[in-house]
Amino acid sequence: MKKIRTKWKHIADSKRTRGSDASKLDKIQKYLNDKRYFTLTGETLAGRRPDLVHKYQDEKIVIELDGYTHGFGDEATESEQTVNRNNDYERNNIPFIPINESWCKLYGYSYEQVAHIGLYIIREQLRVKERFK
C-alpha cells in the first residue's frame, strides 16, 4: 500500500491563525447578526472556547459547529472530546446548540438555519423560565 504524504497539511496547520471552520462560522455569525441575534467570539466558558456565544438576558448561549470528527450527532458515533465538551456545558448549566455538519447535510438544512432555530427555541425557554423566578 502506498504511503500518503500529509506533511503539507501539518505545515499549513502550523501557520494557521484561525480554525479550519472559520469561514463557516463567519457565515453563521453574519446571518445571525443580520437577524438581530448578535453573537461574539473569543469568550471562555466552562474552561472552553466556544465557537460562538449569544447573550440573552443574563444567560450566555453557546453555538458549536461540529465537523465530521465529532461524529454524526448520535451516541454511537460521538467522539470522547465532544462528549466531554457537552458534559462541561451541561454541568455548568450553559445552554448550547451543537450544529452537526453531517446532520445538516443529510437533512438539507444550512448551518445558519439550525443556529437560528436553536437560538429561537432556547431564548423562548429562557423567557418562560424567567417568569418563575
pLDDT at 13: 56
Q: How many CB atoms lie within 10 A of CB 97?
A: 21
Set of cell numbers at residue 116: 437560528
Q: Break the chain into its structural domains and give their ranges.
A: 19-131
- The confidence score (pLDDT) of residue 1 equals 54
- How do residues 52-79 score in pLDDT, each as one tens digit? 999 998 999 999 998 876 766 667 678 8
Q: Tens of pLDDT along 18-47? A: 677 899 999 999 999 999 999 998 899 999
What does the pLDDT read at residue 17? 59
- Tell whether the model's pLDDT for residue 4 goes beyond 90: no
- CATH architecture of the domain covering 19-131: 3-Layer(aba) Sandwich (3.40)
Please tell me the pTM assigned to this model.
0.81
The answer to whether 45 and 56 are in contact (CB under 8 A) is: no
What tens digit of pLDDT does each residue of 76-102 get? 678 888 889 989 999 999 999 999 998
Over the Cα atoms of the chain, what is R_g?
17
